[in-house]
Amino acid sequence: MNLREAVRAYYQAHRQEGVHPKLGPYRYTAPSERHPYQWLWDSGFHAVVLAHWDADAALVELETLFRVQGDDGFVPHMVYWPMPPVVRRVPEAERILGGDPNRLVPITWHSPVPPYAAFEADPRRSDAHSALVQPPIFGTVLLRLWELLGPSERLRALWPRALALYRWIRQHRDPDGDGLVSILQSRESGLDYSPMYDPVWQHAARRTGFLADAAPTPDTLARISDRVFVEHNADRWNLPAIFRRRVFDVEDLTVNVLMARGLWDLARVGERLGFQEAREARRWARAQEQAVLQRLWHEADQAFYSLHHPDDGEVPLRCLTVASLLPLGLPHLRDSQERALLRALRDPARFALPYPVPSVAADEPAFDPEVQPPRLIWRGPTWINMNWFLARFLAERGVRDDARRLARASLDLVQKSGFREYFHPLTGAGGGAFQFGWTGLVLDLQDLAAES
């Protein structure tokens, strides 16, 4: 398989472009046929992939996303660009359980906004986007684009926009001023239904009286999760009011680690571009990193966890997930912490499964590796975007054998099951959407996998 041409073909098939009546022209890569809109961290990953053959498309991907940035720096997790009806030919298996993956059938989608957009749309803003955030990975993305494409005026123009997003998150999402930012719904972490949030959803059910006595089944968890949107919408996305009600308030490990790492990378790019504000980014990075290393570390478990704020206290969400490994990307990780994370990564009872890295450790009671519907996502299967982060972080730390193994395992998954949304960590079977955008990140791991 010619990997680059395969990725290029499905990226071209997923390209969306047009003119928004308020915001002007747009062009981006939809994550998949099932996901026609523009997502924040997906577009960051897509830009890295596109940079391997089309510098203009990589930069346009980010320029389009930042077109909806508010004057205050906010960038939403989803943008609902208008689209005409689109007819594509996709595998029958994507539409019919047990269908023939080699038989192509037409599929048509056309809707102005996703079904839950009414819950997310911020009444203070245009109805063109959501009111949520996602992990702010743009410092890391801009650094990778610098490495792949070199400096340019267009890259330079993106730098202050990325800084403004980090500034907005720091100013608006740290209500207790402890250096850790909070998420208000699990979709903001990108790990939508990770079992780490199960206690938080149960708290939300009790706090709102919605399904408060229901068993925590996949159906009830999904309904409670959606109810959180309703509650925040009732507060008209007044963030101080939302934080006071404590329906969902988590100092999330994924968001805080990737924000700290993104700030370090943003500072590196900014210094090369001559931005004085790079010093500000570096100060923020150090403060954010220290907050993660000191406050999200659970000494007894030798693991990193998110913190739940049910009321005035803090409760560690003691579920070992792939997020617990992400601090490998922090430059000042203590040696003892690094050793603990590497032990977990290499443990066949936890993360060292045949097709790593599972989104939940295999010895967790909530571990569910299956990929066939109906399933809530992020409860066991392997995702390529997390492998991309971890392989790069390991290589930087000089742990190159583990980095190469993870890069090769990622390529093996694509070779075995195609560019699926996620994969069974024991069998390698694919699940979710076909030709999923960020699975193309294997292209960025190819050189690492090829090392001898």
Inform me whether the pLDDT recorded for 109 exceeds 50: no
CB 135 within 8 A of CB 258: yes
At residue 189, does pLDDT exceed 60?
Answer: yes
Instruction: Calculate mean pLDDT across residues 157-168.
Output: 98
Distances (CA, A) of 177 to 166, 288, 310, 314, 343: 15, 11, 17, 14, 33
What global pTM score does this model have? Answer: 0.91
Question: Which DSSP letter does residue 433 get?
Answer: S
Rounded to whole angstroms, the Cα distance separating 196 from 176 reads 22
Give the separation between CA 191 and CA 186, rounded to whole angstroms. 7
Compute the average pLDDT of residues 337-364: 98
Mean pLDDT of 100-110: 52
Q: Is the pLDDT of residue 436 over 80?
A: yes
Q: Are 292 and 280 in contact (CB under 8 A)?
A: no
Q: How confident is the model at residue 232 (pLDDT cuts 50, 70, 90)?
A: confident
pLDDT range class, residue 216, cuts 50, 70, 90: low
Q: What is the pLDDT of residues 355-406, one digit of tens each?
A: 999 999 999 999 999 998 778 899 999 999 999 999 999 999 999 999 999 9
Mean pLDDT (whole number) for 293-306: 98
Task: Summarize the confidence of residues 144-171 as an average pLDDT.
Answer: 97
